[in-house]
Structure 1
Amino acid sequence: MINELKVRLTGLGLSDEMATKAIETVADFAKGKLPAQMHPMLDDVMAGKTPDLGSLGGLLGGFKNPFG
């Protein structure tokens, strides 16, 4: 997914280095907005790995169905 994004950014005229920096900047911004528990998932995505979504159960488990 990150490689596809990089290809699209370079297709828009950014150099490879600029595309990499743009992706890193967005990831850093996202980390500043996400809970610390989600940072490893973002790191996995940035490394081209499939993130372990099992930890989302704990984060989302606190949400209850407002209708039931």
Structure 2
Amino acid sequence: MGVATMDELIALVAEKTGLSPELSQTAAETVLDFLKARLPEPLPRQIDAALGNSGTSSGEDAANKMVRSLFGKE
């Protein structure tokens, strides 16, 4: 699987929870902000990279795998 985008994450949250796209976006952003605030560097940047929020990173695949596992897609 390629790099997930924020739109794909929001769609996955909506699918799994039945929330509206707007609430799914808020939920996804809240979880990501929570994780990025608590994870050691360079993981927050790798999460951003995995979701297409910055350039590619050597840890991009690991961060993408972590995010997918959080939502049961591992």
TM-score normalised to the size of structure 1? 0.55
> Is 1:39 aligned to residue 44 of structure 2?
yes
2:34 to 22, 29, 35: 29
Percentage of pairs with the same residue: 31
Q: Determine if contact 2:49/2:56 at 8 Å carries over to the other structure.
A: yes
Aligned to 1:17: 22
Aligned length: 54
TM-score normalised to the size of structure 2? 0.52
Q: Determine if contact 1:42/1:51 at 8 Å carries over to the other structure.
A: no
| Higher RCO (C-alpha under 8 Å, 6+ residues apart) | 2
Aligned-pair Cα RMSD in Å: 2.5
Structure 1 residue ranges without an equivalent (≥5): 55-68
Aligned to 1:52: 57
Q: Determine if contact 2:36/2:44 at 8 Å carries over to the other structure.
A: yes
CA distance, structure 2, for counterparts of residue 36 and residue 48 of structure 1: 16
The 3 A distance-change label for structure 1 pair 48 and 39 is closer
Report the CA distance between 1:23 and its aligned residue. Answer: 0.7
